[in-house]
């Protein structure tokens, strides 16, 4: 196994949930961490905790990734802190836009696409060439079980964005693994984070039993182990794995009908925007 102590990883959406868990998992393995999100107070508290507990470097950078120039500002801020190399990237930041597509505001959907699709691609595009040159890199794109099943009514672009991340991750892996730059799409099912509270579906998803749920730590550990092993896709959660396997064998029309019938049990019907960093 390669020695990763002293390497540096950038984690987006690191102030809570899966992103926070990822920061701790990487730090426990000896990585220095760069934490970015919109909530600086949470980031700074996490940075202090990580430095004290794991004896690695931790930097907190406030950044709203929905802003058009956010990646340029983030990269500049990293450079200003004299970070010479970024060896890992966890694209975790995200949110969802509840409601049916026609009832939502395009401005909200545009922000969604930037955070969920454009920023992960842009960050990878910036950080990938030096990784290839140094012949070491690890990229985790936090996707979802939603990217492996047919689209559902409501939160219209969410599953589509996650499916995009899965295919994007596969292509990056194929293009760069000979240079020891590995990419994994992480596909958790229901995860204990703030996500469902923020988008207003906590009462609906709470009806699902414990077998449906994973902790943020479980998801982050699975993602870390998966990318270090060079796995293109990692599905997390017992029920998520069962559903993923089932969708591979069902006819598309049958699978679409099943998802359609279940949509109202876990998706909000109210339009609006819900920023949430755990994704």
Q: Is residue 182 part of a domain?
A: yes
Annotate 102-141 with b (16+ C-beta within 10 A) or e (fewer).
Answer: eebeeebeebbbbbbbbbbbbbbeebbeebeeeebbbbbb
| Collapsed DSSP state (helix, strand, coil) of residue 48 | helix
Q: Is residue 56 part of a domain?
A: yes
**pLDDT class of 276 with cuts at 50, 70, 90:** very low
Q: Is residue 87 part of a domain?
A: yes
Q: Does residue 199 have a pLDDT over 90?
A: no
Q: Is residue 173 part of a domain?
A: yes
Tell me phi and psi for residue 51, to 5 degrees. -60, -40
Predicted confidence (pLDDT) per residue in 79-104, tens digit: 999 999 999 999 999 999 999 999 99
Q: Does residue 70 have a pLDDT over 90?
A: yes
State residue 191's pLDDT score: 84
Q: Full-prediction pTM beyond 0.75?
A: yes
Residues in the chain: 279
**pLDDT class of 19 with cuts at 50, 70, 90:** very high
Q: Is residue 252 part of a domain?
A: yes
State residue 253's pLDDT score: 79
Q: Is residue 1 part of a domain?
A: no
Q: Is residue 3 part of a domain?
A: no
Mean pLDDT over residues 194-211, rounded? 52
Distance (Å, whole) CA 139 – CA 58: 19
- Lowest-pLDDT range, 42-46, 69-73, 257-261, 275-279? 275-279
Predicted confidence (pLDDT) per residue in 28-59, tens digit: 999 999 999 999 999 999 999 999 999 999 99
Q: Does residue 140 have a pLDDT over 80?
A: yes
**pLDDT class of 163 with cuts at 50, 70, 90:** very high
Q: Within 10 Å of residue 253's Cβ, how many Cβ atoms?
A: 9
State residue 197's pLDDT score: 45
Asked if residues 159 and 204 have their Cβ atoms less than 8 Å apart, the reply is no
Q: Is residue 209 part of a domain?
A: yes
Active site residues: 158
Instruction: Indicate the number of domains in the chain.
Output: 1
Mean pLDDT over residues 61-85, rounded? 96
Q: What is the CATH number of the domain that holds 29?
A: 3.40.50.720
Q: Which domain holds residue 174?
A: 8-276
- The residues that bridge with 33 in the sheet, in sequence order, are 9, 58
Mean pLDDT over residues 171-192, rounded? 95
Mean pLDDT over residues 163-177, rounded? 98
Distance (Å, whole) CA 91 – CA 13: 8
Distance (Å, whole) CA 201 – CA 204: 5
Q: Does residue 275 have a pLDDT over 90?
A: no
Of 211, 220, 156, 153, whose CA–CA distance to 188 is shortest?
Answer: 220
State residue 220's pLDDT score: 97
């Amino acid at each position: 196994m390669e020695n990763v102590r002293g390497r540096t990883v950038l984690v987006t959406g690191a102030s809570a949930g899966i992103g926070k868990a990822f920061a701790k998992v990487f730090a426990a393995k000896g990585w220095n961490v760069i934490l970015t999100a919109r909530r600086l107070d949470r980031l700074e508290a996490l940075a202090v905790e990580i430095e004290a507990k794991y004896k690695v470097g931790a930097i907190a950078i406030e950044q709203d990734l929905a802003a058009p120039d956010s990646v340029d500002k983030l990269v500049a801020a990293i450079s200003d802190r004299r970070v010479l190399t970024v060896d890992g990237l966890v694209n975790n930041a995200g949110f969802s836009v509840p409601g049916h597509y026609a009832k939502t505001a395009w401005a909200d959907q545009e922000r969604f696409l930037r955070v969920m699709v454009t920023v992960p691609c842009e960050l990878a595009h910036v950080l990938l060439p030096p990784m290839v040159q140094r012949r070491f890199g690890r990229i985790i794109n936090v996707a979802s079980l939603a990217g492996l099943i047919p689209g559902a009514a409501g939160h219209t672009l969410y599953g589509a964005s996650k499916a995009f991340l899965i295919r994007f991750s596969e292509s990056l892996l194929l293009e760069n693994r000979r240079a020891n730059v590995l990419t994994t799409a992480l596909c958790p099912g229901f995860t204990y984070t703030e996500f469902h509270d923020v988008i207003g579906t906590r009462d609906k998803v709470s009806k699902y039993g414990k077998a449906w749920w994973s902790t943020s730590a479980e998801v982050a550990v699975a993602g870390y182990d998966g990318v270090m092993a060079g796995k293109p896709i990692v599905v997390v959660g017992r029920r998520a794995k069962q559903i993923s396997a089932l969708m591979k064998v069902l006819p598309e029309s049958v699978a679409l009908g099943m998802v359609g019938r279940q949509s109202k049990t876990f998706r909000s019907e109210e339009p609006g925007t819900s920023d949430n960093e755990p994704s």
